[in-house]
């Protein structure tokens, strides 16, 4: 699945007509509106699903796939990921990163070396960077603008928010 980028996660059924409630990944809020089809991770493999209708519903997006007309038809999709081919994402999106590109990047805070990205954890609310700091401890950092204002892939660098003290949880 390395050739695909996550653009949204399906959270629940929206209504009895087969609409699903999906949470877009930050940076992809409008991406579903411009597409004829997307891919959904079904049993570990991307499968093509054609979009019939998409509309905003607060911080979520309601999605209806063609040929799926009831809540029973789409029940198996709850918790699945909506994907796009990676090359399409890189060509069309600015300031959007493939999670695989972030591993091994160097992390800085207040202009000083803080650590290296070791892994990325995916949660419903947002992704979380697992950073091995200079002490060798794993630090969990929410991958949102409030904590990570700058990602520079060209120079292999991530800048964290400025400040003093511990702002992040140390992983157990």
The domain locations on the chain are: 4-92, 99-170
**Same fold? 4-92, 99-170:** no
What is the rounded distance in angstroms from the CA atom of residue 154 to the CA atom of residue 171?
Answer: 28
Q: Is the pLDDT of residue 100 over 70?
A: no
What fold is seen in the domain 4-92?
Answer: Elongation Factor Tu (Ef-tu); domain 3 (2.40.30)
Rounded average pLDDT over 60-86: 93
CATH H-level, domain 99-170: superfamily: PRC-barrel domain (2.30.30.240)
Rounded average pLDDT over 100-114: 85
Burial class (CB in 10 A: 0-12, 13-18, 19+), 61: buried
Q: Is the pLDDT of residue 92 over 50?
A: no
Rounded average pLDDT over 121-147: 84
Rounded average pLDDT over 95-101: 62
| Predicted local distance difference test score (pLDDT) of residue 1 | 46
β-bridge partners, 63:
20, 54
Q: Which residue has the tokens 């960077």?
A: 129
Non-local (6+) Cβ contacts of 172 within 8 A are none
| Predicted local distance difference test score (pLDDT) of residue 90 | 56
Question: What is the overall mean pLDDT for the chain?
Answer: 83
What is the rounded distance in angstroms from the CA atom of residue 126 to the CA atom of residue 5?
Answer: 15
Q: Is the pLDDT of residue 62 over 90?
A: yes
Q: Is the pLDDT of residue 140 over 60?
A: yes
**Helix (H/G/I), strand (E/B), else coil: 4:** strand
Q: What is the pLDDT of residues 31-49, one digit of tens each?
A: 888 789 999 988 888 999 9
Q: Is the pLDDT of residue 88 over 80?
A: no
Listed residue (69, 65, 59, 74) closest to 13, CA to CA:
74
What is the rounded distance in angstroms from the CA atom of residue 133 to the CA atom of residue 143?
Answer: 16
């Amino acid at each position: 699945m390395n050739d695909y980028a996550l653009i949204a996660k399906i959270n629940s059924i929206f209504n009895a007509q087969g609409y699903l409630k999906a949470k877009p990944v930050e940076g992809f809020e409008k991406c579903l509106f411009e597409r004829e089809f997307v891919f959904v991770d079904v049993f570990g493999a991307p499968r093509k699903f054609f979009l019939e209708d998409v509309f905003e519903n607060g911080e979520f997006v309601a999605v209806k796939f063609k040929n799926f007309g009831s809540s029973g038809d789409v029940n198996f999709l709850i918790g699945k990921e909506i994907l796009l081919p990676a090359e399409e994402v890189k060509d069309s999106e600015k300031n959007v990163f493939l999670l695989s590109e972030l591993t091994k990047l160097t992390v800085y805070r207040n202009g000083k070396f803080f650590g290296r990205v070791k892994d990325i954890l995916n949660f419903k609310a947002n992704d979380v960077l697992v950073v091995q700091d200079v002490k060798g401890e794993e630090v969990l950092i929410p991958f949102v603008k409030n904590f990570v204002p700058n990602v520079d892939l060209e120079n292999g660098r991530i800048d964290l928010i400025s400040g003093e003290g511990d702002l992040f949880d140390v992983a157990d």
